[in-house]
Structure 1
């Protein structure tokens, strides 16, 4: 078939929250016959799930944070070096547009794009506009958002905004039309628990205790799958064994999409990718926003799903620290008492939340449908359409015959790879 093949650069921070939507967009653009390159940091280059056809180019660290002026100078130097490197990559790759997904590695890339006059788009994953995306909101051509309301997005940029949602992995999106697992008063009750990349310790302590408080009739039907930190896993295993609750534990599940497909209820953090996948598949959730998240964005992420009836929120009060190893004497005792009180209250609240949502099969099924209604299944398609609408000048387009498998081979990918290796 014939298609117009263009080049696009995606820039994303080194976390799954930034990179998973970038991977989904790359897959959609590749399927349309375009060439795509990724700019990220060292962490991002190691994130599982990067497509083989997506070359990754690592920029030097350029985070400007803290109170140390020497750190500022080092960070500013990294940003400047990254900007220069991105410009050299653009000279080789000649992108039709550059898409920023937030995070510090996107800062020098977007600086290079906007200064060079290359059409640019930012995509925000969270329901609060992040710092880097806030900086570029007035400089880019378009702003793609994950929900109808995004905090800290100035109204004066409303003309640039397009609601697309958060793109999710193809294997997750494929589950959207699958029925909700059968759930009756006699069936197993399968619960999936994950803590994300941060703060899983509190879940390892609270969830087993909360499940143990359930009425016997409900507790006897439990089947738990829980992701734990390596240092917590044996303690969690012991807690479940003490309460007689069957649980499969692991530090990482490569088949998470299948686990989600079989779950009746999700318990965990409310990161942007988590919300996107829960609503894509239609799984009810008890969400525990990370209280230390920047701008409390995880609470904002949960807002739409809760309002739609697909989720409930369990609050985790912030405490001085989750690491008692730095405390001694009476301060340590005070911290441990504070932690124990918080965990006990959260466990009781979790028990009540589960009872409210799962005691009657129709309540759980209705919550699942409500979660499904909050999804944006065309997010990757709509974002690709938006990106394709920029940089479409005839001089940038090359008409090629594209094979059925996707993008044709092209010399500039090799040039870009060589440039990134310098």
Structure 2
């Protein structure tokens, strides 16, 4: 195996770094050398990232703000592209793959200029702006979800790989759907890596409104912003409902596997993990997500029969109380909905993506 690395370019958020991490594990298992190109946000995370080295490149987001701010962002991207070109000349990588976000723009543009083989991974069903900008400059586009929407000229570049998931997700996927033998209904509530305020506003009130006979059966795990924890805990305590609450759960894949039902946002990572683990859900897409990508992500699980999608404008305590009451009272169909989720899961997405990036590298080399 060549010592020339495969470069992974990812913005410093979990939504970009988690699939990059999963691919890095798959490439390392094949004997490939992996380097990560990212921004300063990933510095704290990078110590555990399975790469030989991490390279920090300047970037910025040229949208919103004043004209001066946009001009500064463009200048930062240009500077980052020049730095990326110098880095790529020094490393001479076999190929580079970008996982989205503006931090991927400089290294992918530099790769196009230097004619280095490249792949773009899009985790959402609707391509983000940075990836749209880069899509004409790469050899292949890896689709994380099967309903990825792209312009007609790009269709020939699309390869559906799925979204790589972390090893912890694959371990959690081995757990069967939990039974109801103990008479307990386990609910997981999560709003993405930061926790959604709407979940704190709606879910506790909905559960508190359940009849006492149903409240006695429910156990809640809820991810909530730190500043919302006191009021959320107070509602559950007053309702006599057991809750495990925290701003972040490091073992979230296990928590998903232990749940009978999940209420969450519809980020690409969340949708993919729900599918691989196989759990039914009520999804509330972020209403202001770029280009409506979360609604399109949710459609994958909804169309499979595994999930129901509710607009945030319709997401009310009364609606959720009614849904939960029906589920707790008659949970028999939840196991079949869990199986429906599993049918659209792609547990080997990291391997598929590793096959793709290595084949692109080999095609250019031969």
Is TM (by shorter chain) over 0.5?
yes
Partner of 2:154: 157
Secondary structure of the structure 1 residue equivalent to 2:262: strand
Greater Cα shift, 70-79 or 383-392: 70-79
Q: Indicate yes or no: 2:55 matched with 1:22.
A: no
After TM superposition, the structure 1 = structure 2 runs for residues 8-407 of structure 1, keeping only pairs within 5 Å, are 8-47=6-45, 50-151=48-149, 153-184=150-181, 187-198=183-194, 200-317=196-313, 346-392=316-362
Contact 1:16-1:47 at 8 Å conserved across structures: no
Distance 1:394 1:164 in 2: 20
1:10-47 CA-partner distances (Å, limit 9, x unpaired):
11112111111111111111111111111111112334
Could you say what secondary structure the match of 1:193 adopts? strand
Any idea what the Cα deviations from partners look like across 1:334-364, whole Å, max 9, x if unmatched? xxxxxxxx7xx61111122223444323211
The structure with higher relative contact order (CA 8 Å, sep 6+) is 1
Shift of 1:222: 0.8
Distance 2:72 2:334 in 1: 52
Deviation (angstroms), 1:81: 1.2
Q: SS of the residue aligned with 1:14?
A: coil
Label 1:92 to 1:14 Cα distance change in 2 as closer, same or farther (>3 A): same
**Pairwise CA distance, 1:50:** 3.8
**1:199 CA displacement:** 6.0
Q: Secondary structure at the match of 1:270?
A: coil
Say if 1:36 and 1:45 are closer, same or farther in 2 by CA, change over 3 A: same
Kindly indicate whether the alpha-carbon contact (under 8 Å) linking 1:23 and 1:50 is maintained by their aligned counterparts in 2: no
The ranges of structure 1 where at least 4 consecutive aligned residues each deviate by more than 4 angstroms after the TM superposition are: 3-6, 393-396
TM-score by length of 2: 0.94
- Cα distance between partner residues in 2 of 1:374 and 1:394: 32
Q: TM-score, normalised by structure 1?
A: 0.82
Task: Quickly say closer, same or farther: Cα 1:350–1:206, change in 2 above 3 A.
Answer: same
Structure 2, unmatched stretches of 5+, are none
Moved more, 235-244 or 65-74: 65-74
Cα distance, 1:67–1:237 mapped onto 2, change above 3 Å: closer
Aligned partners of 2:281 and 2:306 also within 8 Å: yes
CA distance in 2, matches of 1:288, 1:47: 28
Secondary structure at 1:106 match in 2: helix
Task: Find the counterpart in structure 2 of residue 406 from structure 1.
Answer: none
Aligned residues of 1:175 and 1:281 also touching (Cα < 8 A):
yes
Q: 1:31-85: CA deviations, max 9, x gaps? A: 1111111111111233478425342222223221225221122111111111111
Partners of 1:394 and 1:42 in 2: CA distance = 31
Deviation at 1:206, TM superposition (A): 0.5
CA contact (8 A) 1:270 1:289 kept: yes
Distance 1:163 1:356 in 2: 36
Instruction: Give RMSD over aligned pairs.
Output: 1.9
- Label 1:21 to 1:49 Cα distance change in 2 as closer, same or farther (>3 A): farther
Q: Secondary structure at the match of 1:44?
A: helix
Query: Which has more radius of gyration?
Result: 1
Q: SS in structure 2 opposite 1:363? A: helix
Q: CA separation of 1:282/1:395 partners in 2, compared to 1, >3 Å: closer, same or farther?
A: closer
Deviations 1:278-308 (A, max 9, x none): 1110011111111111111111110010111
Q: Deviations over 1:348-407 (max 9, x none)?
A: 1112222344432321111111111110111000000000002226979xxxxxxxxxxx
What is the SS of the residue equivalent to 1:392? helix
Say if 1:15 and 1:47, in contact at 8 Å, map to a contact too. no
